[in-house]
Amino acid sequence: MEMCLLEVENLKKHFAVDKGLFSSSQQKVKAIDGISFTLRQGETLGLVGESGCGKSTTALTVLRLLEATTGEVKFKGQDIYKLTKKELKALRKEMQIIFQDPDASLNPRQTVGDIIGEGLKIHNLASKETREAKVKELLNRVGLKSEQFLNYPHEFSGGQRQRIGIARALALEPELIVCDEPVSSLDVSIQAQIINLMLDLQKEFGLTYLFIAHNLNLVRYVSHRVAVMYLGKLVELAAKEEIYNNPQHPYTRALLSAIPIADPTVDREKIILEGELPSPINPPLGCNFHTRCPETREICRQEEPNFINRGAEHWVACHF
Amino acid sequence: MSKTNILEVNNLQTHFYTKEGIVKAVDGVSFEVKAGETLGIVGESGSGKSVTATSIMQLLPASAEIVAGEVDFKGSNLLSKSKAELQKIRGNEISMIFQEPMTALNPVYKIGNQLAEVFQLHQQLNKKRALKEAKDLLAKVGIPSPQERLEEYPHQLSGGMRQRVMIAMALAAEPQLIIADEPTTALDVTIQAQILDLLQNLQSKFGLSLIFITHDLGIIAEIADRVIVMYAGQVMESAAVETLFEEAKHPYTQGLIDSIPSLNYSRESLVSIKGVIPDFFELPAGCKFSNRCDYAIKKCFQEEAKLELANKGQLLKCWRWRELERKGLGDGDVLTGS
């Protein structure tokens, strides 16, 4: 059995919605509502879903950058929610994140050298000289020029800025990198460059990725296993080829059939879901997908399906 | 002008005047749209796709100017029309769907009033009849409980619903040509599938011509009859959709198609186009793509190629397409930028 680097158990994050100054009833957005999964050393787990399904909240709570409401997140067997601030800080070296929008996640007033070297400084890992050398080495490794370390983020293109974000995540030699839509703001020709870089780095440093994206083609390309999320819950989780060749959940099937295929000779019947994503403030009772599911039956409206292993580690939350 | 063409664009050039200098956002673009067909325009950011659309509609910002070219719509040049004449054509005969409906719809007017305005303006209906038409139209584009929606404001609708309202608005005056500029880019895949399905149904029902602008080759493959590929304000290649995906001959088109992960399932290495999308002021002198092209020779850096006709109506702007065609572009060691 491969070693589990990360174990997430029944993780929940509920946000209180302020209904107004004099309102006493507190409504809650159940951004993530009881998700469990594991991440093995060296693998990439893809997490897909549409906007508002809780992907990014998952990214933040798994790293405890946002406090979860309940649940456990074990990193190398240690529950990070039981750690003190100091212990957590020490652990942060091993868990890093790459954000979607490099414009918003890089400080415009810091030089690239300071941005990439900040972690080294905070964790006292290098003297000023060795830090500079390390930053230059990182810049080279992600395909930028080492003499650019005094430049500011705005002097780089979108793809290059994402390379800076990757270099920053790499600086502390982490084991786990959570990638939250790392290429969705980039043009296709640039996306391919960044993905290639990320895969090379994974091979070189034995990185483990939690790769969050809405683009199913991309997730298929980079992942070993894929988890599909809908309205705060996981609906399906399996090895990549299982998910794409043998999808069990009706939502996964619809999602896969909705991807436009870049081949005009392919003629297929699309499953077009009716309606829209329900509000997570008032999710449907029973199975929360039943309002849009083409195969809804009576039990789906009443009972919530469990997330069950149907064999060969293919997990599905569906009554049928 | 051929009878079957509803729109012919010839040598369109649109320039932006900026502090840094002149940006040739659209740099000699020519194409035609046949009645009832869907023309896909594909390209990355800054390729001039959207400016081409707004130039046809003459909805350009003050800093931009159409400096040359013709836009023949049903035989007459739109660029020589007066403002009043244009007003009649826009919305009535040609209409547009934008990428982000939240910015295209007026946030302080009710959906009903915004839609009814089109009927009041273009068909001189009174308010009551216009609202009735608006309601029917909302039903036609698949919006549930249309009567209630008339009373709502744009922010009360979801992204997919807002885009349906935009489509309803574009259809209101029964135009012959709709220009859709990235109409599904802001939407989730399942909602995107709904909207594409709706557009295709409406098109066959009303016999519309459609110009569909997108960066997504997957959508192009599904919706377009013919495609033009733009880069740095120019048409690099144009072909029937099947021809484009089977025998793209331009290195840029080939690179774009190869960058899509869906066609490369092996986890080896995704083929990518080297370099970055250049700034308009740093474009190479010859072929605009030459500094990112793996096949560029001396001539490519010095002189720009003309758009040439290959077989099957395929047009190409590349000095080396004949040579590359013989060698078989896309096989083996080619196009492996980093």
Tens digits of pLDDT across chain A (320 residues): 467 899 999 999 998 876 666 666 677 888 899 999 999 999 999 999 888 889 999 999 999 999 999 999 999 999 999 999 999 999 999 999 999 887 788 999 999 999 999 999 988 888 888 999 999 999 999 988 888 889 999 888 888 899 999 999 999 999 999 999 998 888 888 888 889 999 999 999 999 999 999 888 889 889 999 999 999 999 999 999 999 999 999 999 999 988 888 888 877 778 888 877 787 778 888 999 999 999 889 999 999 999 999 988 999 999 98
Task: Return d(Cα B23, Cα B233) in angstroms, integer.
Answer: 10
Q: Is A157 on the interface with B (CB under 8 A)?
A: yes
Q: Per the structure block, which two tokens stand in for B16? A: 């932006």
Residues contacting residue A162 through CB under 8 Å, at least 6 positions apart? A98, A102, A182, A183, A185, A186, A194
Å from B82 to nearest chain A CA? 38
Nearest CA in chain A to B225: A264
Sign of CA dihedral B38, B42, B45, B49: negative
Helix axes A158-170, A128-141, angle to 10 degrees: 130
DSSP state at residue B303: S
Query: Tens digits of per-residue pLDDT, B258-272?
Result: 888 764 455 466 777
Return mean pLDDT, chain B.
87
CB contact under 8 A, A190 and B158: no
CB contact under 8 A, A254 and B158: no
Residue ranges, chain B, pLDDT below 70: 1-3, 262-269, 328-338
Three-state secondary structure call for residue A314: coil
B chain contacts of residue A157, beta-carbon cutoff 8 Å: 276-277
Between the alpha carbon of residue A24 and those of residues A13, A16, A43, A282, the distances in Å are 21, 12, 46, 17
Q: Is A217 on the interface with B (CB under 8 A)?
A: yes
Q: Is A265 on the interface with B (CB under 8 A)?
A: yes
Between the alpha carbon of residue A302 and those of residues A292, A294, A298, A299, A319, the distances in Å are 15, 16, 7, 5, 11
DSSP state at residue B225: S
Query: For residues B20 and B281, is the Cβ–Cβ distance under 8 A?
Result: yes
Query: For residues A63 and A43, is the Cβ–Cβ distance under 8 A?
Result: no
Residue from A44, A249, A263, A268 whose CB has the most chain B CBs within 10 Å, to mutate:
A263
Query: For residues A234 and A248, is the Cβ–Cβ distance under 8 A?
Result: no
Q: Tell me the domain boundaries of chain A.
A: 4-94+174-316
CB contact under 8 A, A221 and B265: yes
pLDDT, position B335 = 39
Q: Per the structure block, which two tokens stand in for A141? A: 């490794």
A chain contacts of residue B190, beta-carbon cutoff 8 Å: 50, 254-255, 258, 272-273
Q: How far is CA B59 from the centre of its chain?
A: 15
CB contact under 8 A, B188 and A264: no
Q: Is A44 on the interface with B (CB under 8 A)?
A: no
Number of H helices, E strands in chain A: 11, 12
DSSP of B235-296: EEEEEEHHHHHHH--SHHHHHHHHT-GGG--SSS------S-PPPGGG--SSSTTGGG-TT-
Q: Per the structure block, which two tokens stand in for A161? A: 């800025």
Q: Per the structure block, which two tokens stand in for B209? A: 């011509």
pLDDT, position B14 = 96
Task: Return d(Cα B153, Cα B106) in angstroms, integer.
Answer: 9
Predicted-assembly ipTM surpassing the 0.85 threshold: no
Reported pTM: 0.84
Residue type, A69: T
Nearest CA in chain A to B198: A272
Residue from A155, A202, A221, A252 whose CB has the most chain B CBs within 10 Å, to mutate:
A221
Q: How many CB atoms lie within 10 A of CB B20?
A: 9
Taking one residue from A and the other from B, the number of pairs with CB-CB distance under 8 angstroms is 131
Residue range A4-94+174-316 in CATH 3.40.50.880: no
Instruction: Pick A195's closest partner by Cβ from B222, B241, B270.
Output: B270
DSSP state at residue A21: T
In DSSP terms, A94 is beta-bridged to: none
Residues contacting residue B326 through CB under 8 Å, at least 6 positions apart? none
Query: For residues A287 and A279, is the Cβ–Cβ distance under 8 A?
Result: no
Sign of CA dihedral A291, A294, A298, A302: negative
Per the listing, tokens 């896309």 go with B330
